[in-house]
Amino acid sequence: MAVYKAPLKDIQFVLNEVLDVSQLARLPGYEDATPDTIHAIIEEAAKLCENVLFPLNRTGDEEGCTYENGVVRTPKGFKHAYDMFRDGGWTAVTCDPEYGGQGLPATVGFALQEMFTASNQAFAMYPGLSHGAYEALSRHGSDELKKKYLPKLTDGTWSGTMCLTEPQCGTDLGLIRTKAELQADGSYAITGTKIFISAGEHDLTENILHLVLARLPDAPGGTKGISLFLVPKFIPKADGSVGERNGIRCGAIEHKMGIKANATCVMNLDGAKGWLVGELNRGMPAMFVMMNAARLGVGMQGLGIAETSYQSAVAYARDRLQGRSLTGPKNAKGPADSIIVHPDVRRMLMIQKSFTEAARALSLWVGLLIDEAHSHPDTDKRAAADDLVQMLTPIIKAHFTDMGSECANLAVQTYGGHGYIRENGVEQFVRDARITQLYEGTNGIQALDLVGRKLPMKGGAAAQRLLGEIAGFVAKHKADDKMKEFVEPLEKALGRVQDAALYLMQNAMKNPDEAGAAASDLLRLMALTAMAFMWNRIVVAAHKGLAAGNDNAFYEAKLTTARFYMARVLPQTTSLNHQIKAGAATVMALPAEAF
């Protein structure tokens, strides 16, 4: 059976020894975010994940959501779990105290996101989407909207969604047909159909706030004419309680491959009353606040699935007896050895382990950077941190979800035929993981975002900042004999990133297809290098731990896993560089009719 135990020891190691989370308490507004406080919060969340959310993961998948006459019901136990989640204050952890939030750093939120999604991805999406709506409203909503809606999103009595996709448009939002017409009272009547709306209708909260992209009749064409509107399921009364039903209703729920316990809805708007968020015809910048938060959140889903897949695979590999070790029996008194003795099983487990531990470090570093970008008193440091977050967002979304899917498949492979059987639980991870590579912008779109927007951002200064961080680390540790076996492969991978980026600079201006053909390979090349950078930082912390003489087995395992990554995973950067420099011709030469 699938298993999950919150990786508290490793989270604490990354926070305290790799990243030094104590620096958070020195940022304005985060004075109470001490390591002890953060540890207590994460420990409490682990209990909720292990004892409440994870047991509902498989039953929620088996039962799914149900739809009848416009009403959507979540699986048995979800409403009770959500009430516990809300009553425990988990919806409010990183929200502004002005609206009833706890005001804790994003770093804490990232640690919690991993555990929530690892234990129950479908459940975690409900509060996760609400927080995205909170972020968009808090940054772009009017004071009136913020005062009316943010306290309810913060305490979790109301939830939120993002309504972008329509039957004729997904990635190309310029094709949106949903229309908004100004009313005499200053509101807008919204009419249209949205599809694939996660958590669009459910029974967990008393109201649902939909953030809807729509176009005024006289708006410019394309994305420049899109506006963002807040459309509540129930229109609030003057006293803040729910009032009359608005003209937005669920027309159906999708029958999906995975995340069956999260309602994916068709939402029909028939003159629904909405209020403008931000400026007219400037809906995309406002929505991208929510979208960028969602992309990082989806990346955390990839990490969460990878972690649960890994833990389940390890548990099975230790218990399953099949065959004998190639170097002689290890379980001489038994009929066979456990499969964890076999090199190929070890290979699969090490791929998962080497990913999850570095990904955890990278995601929590991004959390720290978000906190610096938000609260650091130095303007330049805020800008520098934001540059790094912008660069790493498509990398985390795409690479983490690609690897989440790969780790889920490796878990099934480890189980063998038993992994393919539904009752053992790991086949669900494969189905749940698959959507993460698709929603909030497919991973191909993330790659195009990296190449087309992020690399040229600020004249390339943001990209240079990320590469400079890695180069600075290499320069600092290059002469350290203990670090040589880790720093040298990192330095070579960094050189390949620079070489590939130079190739694109020289060729993409002449032929834009060069950028498109190279984008996914370049993203993976940069992702593998960023992960190697995090492994190097982990190794530094592990050497300090060994020098202190504490828990040697834990730190030695870090060094061993780092060696696996450098020897077995990072060499992929060589072939990726060759693939990029093979050019667009090999991709584009075949005529469309020849496929």
Could you give the residue numbers annotated as active site? 440
Sign of CA dihedral 138, 139, 141, 142: positive
Beta bridge partners of 461: none
The rounded distance, in Å, linking the Cα atoms of 126 and 81 is 12
| Burial (CB count <10 Å: 0-12, 13-18, 19+), residue 77 | middle
- Give CA–CA dist 188/483, Å, rounded: 61
Contacts of 570 (CB under 8 A, 6+ apart): 489, 490, 493, 528, 529, 532
Do 440 and 70 contact (CB within 8 A), yes or no? Answer: no
CA distance 533 to 521: 18
Task: Fill in the DSSP letter of residue 64.
Answer: -
**β-strand 207-215 against 158-163: which pairing, if any?**
parallel
Three-class SS state of 101 = coil
Closest CA to 127 of 139, 144, 115, 140: 115
Mapping DSSP to helix (H, G, I), strand (E, B) and coil, where does residue 169 land?
A: strand
Q: What is the DSSP letter of 102?
A: -
Measured CA to CA in angstroms, residue 547 lies from 185, 231, 540, 551, 561 at distances of 69, 58, 11, 10, 19
CA angle 372, 373, 377 (to 5 degrees): 65
The CA-atom distances, in angstroms, between 499 and each of 393, 396, 495, 504, 585 are 22, 22, 6, 9, 19
15 close to 40: Cβ distance less than 8 angstroms: no
Q: For residues 354 and 576, what is the distance between their CA atoms, to the nearest angstrom?
A: 19
Amino acid at 455: L
Give, for 89, the enclosing helix (H) or strand (E): none
CA atoms within 13 A on the CB side of 539: 27
Q: If residue 382 lies in a helix (H) or strand (E), which one and from where to where?
A: helix 379-415
For residue 567, count other CB atoms closer than 10 A to its CB: 11
DSSP state of 317: H
Which two tokens mark 286? 């406002």
Nearest to 289 by CA among 414, 446, 68, 136: 136
CA dist 404 and 423 (Å) reads: 21
CA distance 421 to 153: 39
Q: Taking a C-beta distance cutoff of 8 angstroms, is the pair 437, 405 a contact? A: yes
